[in-house]
């Protein structure tokens, strides 16, 4: 964390004036106008603003979060020093939010040059940039380097720096539209690693003995099925039974059953008889001695109705639950808030048009209440509950 440049701006009015104009980092405009907070609950200090109503906030780790007046926000630097490098080196940085290092040097330089020429039609930036860089001790970086810094910073915005309206709880949009990994990809990464270890014959007990790792390995096996996985699937199935009835226990039973080995039926029945919940949850299983085709048919029916091989078909709550289990709390929270915001917006539009809430949205609200309670986020749980309760009320 570095706030060297911020201290200098506060101590030297001339430098502060240069930062405010022409580079639009104005210490006197730090009032954002509406109360905001981070979804994570981390500290947030407004330090400057610009002439469009945007505000620069310093987060607990020193990162600078910029929030505009239109309800968008994003990290623009790992520190105030780095953010000022971007603002001074790219005075038209708002126009370059869509640029990425992958665009190549020629495109980046051309875009930056075009924007700066437009700025020069109204006021100078070159001498001012040289003076401010010298006064703050900022290095001179190429436009390509600066776009790289900005791009990397923007991609760090979610989940740890998701900005909310403090009163209503809704999340700000992202400043940029750069692609990010899907939630399931981030959540499943550890499971894929562990599945590789299991296939190599190592870490069987370490993975199987850890509830979160075991669940993720089973999910990884769901989407990457191989004929040679049967021994490791049996091992994971035995251990998952210790957690009683879970979605992953049913998944493990299905993955074992799909191999159609009649000798697995005694194991499957042993697992089913673990307790009352597993006995109910694994109903319909063929009896020991049944034809392998019956076992395969039972497993295939469950697979078609509950699982499958496409991770994008899984409910959001599968991935947020698994994220929570492995400690990725902010990742789960951000995804749940985004889903609640979508439902809230559609509910507002439906109410305005005199329509009833869509059944799919209504059915998710109860789950959202539960998931937020599991995360300890009472505020968002109450948001979801306020939408949910009227649906349960009867005359």
Q: What is the pLDDT of residues 279-310, one digit of tens each?
A: 999 999 999 989 999 999 999 999 999 999 99
| Three-state secondary structure call for residue 153 | helix
Residue 200 to residue 187: CA distance in whole angstroms: 22
pLDDT tier at 393 (50, 70, 90 boundaries)? low
Q: Which helix (H) or strand (E) holds 280?
A: helix 276-281
User: How far apart, in Å, are the Cα atoms of 241 and each of 28, 211, 218, 229, 251?
Assistant: 61, 11, 13, 18, 11
Q: Can you tell me the mean pLDDT for 316-329?
A: 97
Is the pTM here over 0.85, yes or no?
Answer: yes
Residue 383 banded pLDDT, cuts 50, 70, 90: very high
pLDDT band at 141 (very low <50, low <70, confident <90, very high): very high
pLDDT at residue 263 greater than cutoff 80: yes
User: Taking a C-beta distance cutoff of 8 angstroms, is the pair 221, 255 a contact?
Assistant: yes
Q: Please, what is the average pLDDT of the chain?
A: 95
Across 188-199, average pLDDT = 98
pLDDT at 28 over 80: yes
- Does position 394 have pLDDT exceeding 80, yes or no? no
> Closest Cα partner for 32 from 83, 69, 73?
69
Confidence (pLDDT) at 357: 81
What's residue 101's pLDDT? 97
Q: Could you write out the DSSP letters of every residue in 96-112?
A: GTT--GGG-HHHHHHHH
Q: Write down the pLDDT at residue 2.
A: 60
Are 31 and 145 a contacting pair, CB within 8 Å? Answer: no
Is the per-residue pLDDT at 391 higher than 90?
Answer: no
Convert the pLDDT of each residue in 57-115 to its tens digit. Answer: 999 999 999 999 999 999 999 999 999 999 999 999 999 999 999 999 999 999 999 99
């Amino acid at each position: 964390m570095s706030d060297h440049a911020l201290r200098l701006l506060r101590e030297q009015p001339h430098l502060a004036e240069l930062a405010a104009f022409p580079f639009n980092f104005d210490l006197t405009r730090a009032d954002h106008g509406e109360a905001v907070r981070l979804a994570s609950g981390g500290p947030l200090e407004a330090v400057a603003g610009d002439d469009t109503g945007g505000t620069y906030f310093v987060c607990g780790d020193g990162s600078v979060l910029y929030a505009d007046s239109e309800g968008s926000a994003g990290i623009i630097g790992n520190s105030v020093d780095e953010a000022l490098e971007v603002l001074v080196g790219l005075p038209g940085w708002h126009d370059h939010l869509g640029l990425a290092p992958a665009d190549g040097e020629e495109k980046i330089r051309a875009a930056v040059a075009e924007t700066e020429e437009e700025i020069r039609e109204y006021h100078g930036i070159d001498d001012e940039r040289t003076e401010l860089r010298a006064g703050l001790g900022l290095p001179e970086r190429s436009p390509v380097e600066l776009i790289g810094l900005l791009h990397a910073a923007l991609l760090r915005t979610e989940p740890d720096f998701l900005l909310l309206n403090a009163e209503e709880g809704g999340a700000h949009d992202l400043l940029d539209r750069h692609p990010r990994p899907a939630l399931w990809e981030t959540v499943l990464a550890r499971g894929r690693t562990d599945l590789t270890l299991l296939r190599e014959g190592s870490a069987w007990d370490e993975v199987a003995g850890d509830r979160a790792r075991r669940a993720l390995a089973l999910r990884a096996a769901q989407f990457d099925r191989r004929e040679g996985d049967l021994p490791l699937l049996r091992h994971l199935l035995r251990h998952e039974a210790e957690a009683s009835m879970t979605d992953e226990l049913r998944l493990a039973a299905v993955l074992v059953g799909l191999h159609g080995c009649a000798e697995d039926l005694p194991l499957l029945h042993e697992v089913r008889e673990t307790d009352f919940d597993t006995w109910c949850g694994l109903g319909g299983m063929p009896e020991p001695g049944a034809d392998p085709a019956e076992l395969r048919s039972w497993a295939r029916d469950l697979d078609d109705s509950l699982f499958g091989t496409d991770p994008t078909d899984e409910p959001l709550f599968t991935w947020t639950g698994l994220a929570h289990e492995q400690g990725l709390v902010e990742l789960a929270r951000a995804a749940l808030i985004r889903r609640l915001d979508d439902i809230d917006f559609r509910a507002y539009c439906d109410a305005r048009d005199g329509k009833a809430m869509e059944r799919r949205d209504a059915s998710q609200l109860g789950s959202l209440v539960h998931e937020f309670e599991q995360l300890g986020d009472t505020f968002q749980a109450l948001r979801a509950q306020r939408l949910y309760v009227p649906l349960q009320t009867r005359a």
